[in-house]
């Protein structure tokens, strides 16, 4: 939507606007623009006319390629900006209709554990609340989670004693963090211990304050996740999810009702914004790099160079997607049951 509006408002020719990817389900042409609803409604794209196919003068000033660099940068960047605005709007709608969570309570909530990892081997279970580490009482909120993660990372292959609350019963467990690239990991998903349920915001200032905090937290964590994937691929690759896993996560969140669906939509929108910002030729970030280089050089990057880089990027993304689909499919419970028969 961002690319489409930025182009239309500047009088740049647009050939098509599609919601989703894959084969077209519904298609209608209106004012020389083809509007489509496609089979997989995850994101969308805008297509610009080819002057040869559409019989347009190659020097027509309304073709995107003939517009000044600044105007093209606006069109290219609009997609990322639109995704961020959409995520922010979704969070506002979610908080307005559902309410904001209660303040965190002491301890850290365990959302899930990975099989055969340190947390699972120590007996830690989803739903447990970690109250103490090495006899030190944990605080509340994100600071408590950060403190625990830091302690675990610094305790590679060294036992750590923790105290948990499981259904009102206190238990002592011992973790043995596994060493991965010099840092301890336990294979557990953690979050602040927040009471179930929500409360209405007192006023509009509290609404925007909480929305800003939630939005910035999601954005920063997403950026850090991609940064870790680039700088430390070996330890973060297992945390990367493909389309199959994304659908599974979406189905799990949808079971929580409207708030889960809205949160999932916001997360997807933020991830698409960050992903599209990466400097890969097939993504908005890559097109932005080519355009900025053209602005500095005073002439476009040679077509052959763009072709080589784009093709390399295409095979990289397709290969990664195939690997993720195979891995995520093999981890589905129904597939594991079939394989074990």
pLDDT digits (tens, 9 = 90+) for 23-74: 888 888 888 888 888 877 666 778 888 777 777 888 888 888 888 888 888 9
pLDDT digits (tens, 9 = 90+) for 15-24: 888 887 778 8
Q: What is the pLDDT of residue 179?
A: 85
Of the candidates 212, 146, 157, which has an alpha carbon nearest to the alpha carbon of residue 179? 157
Residue 33 Rama label (left phi>0; alpha psi -120 to 50; beta) = beta
- For domain 103-196, give the CATH number: 2.30.42.10
Exposed / middle / buried, residue 307 (Cβ in 10 Å: 0-12, 13-18, 19+) = exposed
pLDDT digits (tens, 9 = 90+) for 181-229: 778 888 888 888 877 667 777 788 888 988 898 898 888 877 876 776 6
Which residue ranges make up each domain of the chain? 1-67, 76-101+201-341, 103-196
pLDDT digits (tens, 9 = 90+) for 96-146: 887 777 777 888 888 888 888 889 999 999 889 999 988 888 888 878 888
Q: Which tokens is 245 given?
A: 């896993």
Q: CA 104, 110, 112, 114 torsion: positive or negative? A: positive
pLDDT digits (tens, 9 = 90+) for 145-183: 888 888 888 888 788 899 999 988 999 999 998 888 778
What is the biggest distance separating any 2 CA atoms in the chain, rounded to whole angstroms? 76
Distances (CA, A) of 300 to 20, 38, 283, 314: 30, 33, 18, 21
DSSP β-ladder status, 104-113 and 33-47: unpaired
pTM, 2 dp: 0.64
Distance CA(85)–CA(270), nearest Å, equals 9
Distances (CA, A) of 178 to 108, 121, 157, 299: 20, 11, 6, 52
Q: Which tokens is 111 given?
A: 């959302």
């Amino acid at each position: 939507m961002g690319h489409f509006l930025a182009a239309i408002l500047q009088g740049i020719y647009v050939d098509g606007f599609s919601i989703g990817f894959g084969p077209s389900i519904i298609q209608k042409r209106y004012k020389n623009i083809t509007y489509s609803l496609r089979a997989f409604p995850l994101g969308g794209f805008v297509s610009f006319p080819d002057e040869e196919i559409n019989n347009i003068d190659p020097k027509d000033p309304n073709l995107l390629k003939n517009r000044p660099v600044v105007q093209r940068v606006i069109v290219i960047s609009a997609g990322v900006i639109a995704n961020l605005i959409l995520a922010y709007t979704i969070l506002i709608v979610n908080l307005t209709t559902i309410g904001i969570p209660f303040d965190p309570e002491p301890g850290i909530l365990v959302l899930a554990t990975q099989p055969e990892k340190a947390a699972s081997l120590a007996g830690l279970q989803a739903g447990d609340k970690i109250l103490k580490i090495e006899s030190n009482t944990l605080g509340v909120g994100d600071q408590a989670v950060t403190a625990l993660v830091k302690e675990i990372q610094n305790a590679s292959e060294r036992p750590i004693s923790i105290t948990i609350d499981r259904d009102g019963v206190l238990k002592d467990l011992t973790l043995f963090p596994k060493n991965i690239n010099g840092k301890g990991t336990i294979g557990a998903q953690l979050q602040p211990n927040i009471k179930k349920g929500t409360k209405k915001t007192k006023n509009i200032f509290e609404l925007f304050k909480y929305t800003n905090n939630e939005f910035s937290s999601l954005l920063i964590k997403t950026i850090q996740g991609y940064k870790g994937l680039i700088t430390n691929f070996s330890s973060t690759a297992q945390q990367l999810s493909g389309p199959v896993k994304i659908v599974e996560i979406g189905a799990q969140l949808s079971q929580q009702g409207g708030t889960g669906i809205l949160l999932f939509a916001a997360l997807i929108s933020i991830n698409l914004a960050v992903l599209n910002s990466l400097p890969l030729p097939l993504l908005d970030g890559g097109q932005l790099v080519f355009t900025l280089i053209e602005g500095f050089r005073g002439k476009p990057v040679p077509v052959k160079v763009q072709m080589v880089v784009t093709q390399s990027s295409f095979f990289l993304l397709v290969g990664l997607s195939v690997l993720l689909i195979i891995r995520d499919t093999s981890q589905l419970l129904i597939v594991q049951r079939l394989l074990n028969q």
